[in-house]
């Protein structure tokens, strides 16, 4: 990976009367960073940054976010443009290779992914070991990690051919695994992938087709699913992406790295946000109760919070939400669905996008608010939402993992700590305590 980070100046830090010069580094876009790698060696002091929210852990050329402007770029391309005009496999190629494919490159890539969608037959035995009421994310975590036992050669990731094969297998098989999680959860037989369908269309068929009758993919729903995949593919160094990179920095098997990212995404503060948003809509129940919950949201003493509104990174509108808003209305219009939860969502959206209290605080509906509505309308239970998020994000994870391996400056992750425990103590035998 070509290093595009340049030094633009020097920052001086004074510690206990002694000054140290540290390089100021600038990427192609975004705020500059202070390179503190030499600080401990020179001064004997660490930086302290719980959650790493003010720390750049790596150089990356994949995704850029400008939270103030509400901008998200994949390899320099606006995510809204990609979602409206591209396909999920074309965007996957972009994230992995850095450039959009030409027609021949896309045909080869699509064919390669399509021909790796089947699962080894013995994977089914892993599902049979789960209880039927197991959370789908527990099944996904286990079975993604289990792939490492079936593809031993992919562990030799220093070889380009083996690494490419691992990338293709992971992107191809994750929809099949995700669909099997759903089918097992609802007690239906698995549906094999079908090679003449698109990436999104094939996933929908594996989820909703049954052996007893034919299944035809609805093009409106297929396109909506494809947009969901694109919008959730990558999002800078978030918790799960950082987990994948940290696991990968030790040289771990790529399937184990993706399993680690999947486990991190499972957390309700990360991948569970759209599920939380839909549960909130169900709690509100009916449109006439919205004023009550709006008042509670404004009351600082009330623990209730509007889920699916605002974003930690975006201070303006989440750009992904703009696409999902249009997609939500397209899907609901196509399916002709009308139920109290969706009526609450639409009315709450109208209030939040027009009332000064929300607008001034940047509490716009985010991508999780809309994606939960769409996935519910398609018939997915709420406990499958995070699985679908993981399916989409896997492409970003494996792209970040691949980039990490190509970075000559990459080292095994080893964060420091400020120790606050007991000082050195003498051991006292048990009979004298």
Number of CB atoms found within 10 A of residue 29's CB: 11
Q: Are 194 and 202 in contact (CB under 8 A)?
A: yes
Active site residues: 311, 368
- The answer to whether residues 1 and 61 touch, using CB atoms and an 8 Å cutoff, is yes
Q: Map the chain to HEC letters.
A: CCCCCEEEEEEEEEECCEEEEEEEEECCCCCCEECCCCHHHHHCCCCCCHHHCCCCCCCCCCEEEECCCCEEEECCEEHHHHHHHCCHHHHHHHHHHCCCCCHHHHHHHHHHHHCCCCCCCCHHHHHHCCCCCCCHHHHHHHHHHHHHHCCHHHHCCCCHHHHHHHHHHHHHHHHHHHHHHHHHHHCCCCCCCCCCCCHHHHHHHHHHCECCECCCCCHHHHHHHHHHHHHCCCCCCCHHHHHHHHHHHCCCCHHHHHHHHHHHHCCCCCCCHHHHHHHHHHHHCCHHHHHHHHHHHHCCCCCCCCCCECCCCCCCCCHHHHHHHHHHHHHHHHHCCCCHHHHHHHHHHHHHCCCHHHHHCCCCECHHHHHHHHHHHHCCCHHHHHHHHHHHHHHHHHHHHHHHHHCCCCCCCCCCCCCCCCCCCCCCCHHHC
């Amino acid at each position: 990976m070509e290093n595009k980070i340049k030094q633009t100046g020097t920052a001086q830090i004074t510690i206990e009367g002694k000054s140290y010069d540290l390089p100021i580094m600038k990427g192609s876009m975004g705020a500059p960073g202070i390179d503190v790698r030499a600080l401990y060696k020179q001064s004997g002091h660490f930086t302290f940054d719980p959650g790493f929210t003010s720390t750049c852990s790596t150089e990356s050329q994949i995704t850029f976010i400008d939270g103030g402007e509400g901008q998200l770029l994949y390899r320099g391309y606006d995510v809204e443009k990609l979602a409206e005009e591209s396909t999920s496999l074309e965007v996957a190629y972009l994230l992995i290779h850095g450039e959009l494919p030409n027609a021949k490159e896309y045909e080869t890539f699509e064919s390669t992914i399509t021909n790796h969608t089947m699962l080894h037959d013995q994977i089914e035995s892993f599902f049979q070991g789960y209880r039927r009421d197991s959370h789908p994310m527990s099944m996904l975590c286990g079975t993604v990690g289990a792939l490492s036992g079936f593809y031993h050669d992919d562990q030799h990731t220093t070889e380009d051919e083996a690494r490419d094969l691992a990338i293709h297998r992971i992107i191809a098989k994750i929809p099949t695994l995700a669909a099997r999680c759903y089918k097992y959860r609802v007690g239906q037989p698995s549906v094999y992938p079908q090679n003449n369908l698109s990436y999104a269309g094939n996933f929908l068929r594996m989820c909703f087709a049954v052996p007893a009758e034919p299944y035809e993919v609805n093009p409106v729903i297929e396109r909506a699913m494809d947009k969901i995949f694109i919008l959730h593919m990558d999002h800078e160094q978030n918790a799960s992406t950082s987990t994948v990179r940290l696991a990968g920095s030790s040289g771990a098997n790529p399937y184990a790295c993706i399993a680690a990212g999947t486990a991190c995404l499972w957390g309700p503060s990360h991948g569970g946000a759209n599920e939380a948003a839909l549960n909130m809509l169900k709690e509100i129940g009916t449109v006439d109760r919205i004023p009550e919950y709006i008042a509670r949201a404004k009351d600082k003493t009330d623990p209730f919070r509007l889920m699916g509104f605002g974003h930690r990174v975006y201070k303006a509108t989440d750009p992904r939400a703009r696409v999902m808003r249009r997609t939500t209305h397209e899907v609901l219009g196509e399916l002709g669905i009308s139920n109290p939860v969706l009526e609450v969502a639409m009315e709450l959206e109208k209030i939040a996008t027009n009332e000064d209290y929300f607008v001034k605080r940047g509490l716009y509906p985010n991508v999780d608010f809309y994606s939960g509505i769409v996935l519910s309308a398609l018939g997915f239970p709420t406990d499958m939402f995070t699985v679908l998020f993981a399916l989409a994000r896997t492409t970003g994870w494996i792209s970040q993992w691949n980039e990490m391996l190509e970075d000559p400056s990459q080292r095994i992750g080893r964060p420091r700590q400020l120790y606050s425990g007991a000082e050195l103590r003498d051991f006292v035998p048990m009979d004298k305590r």
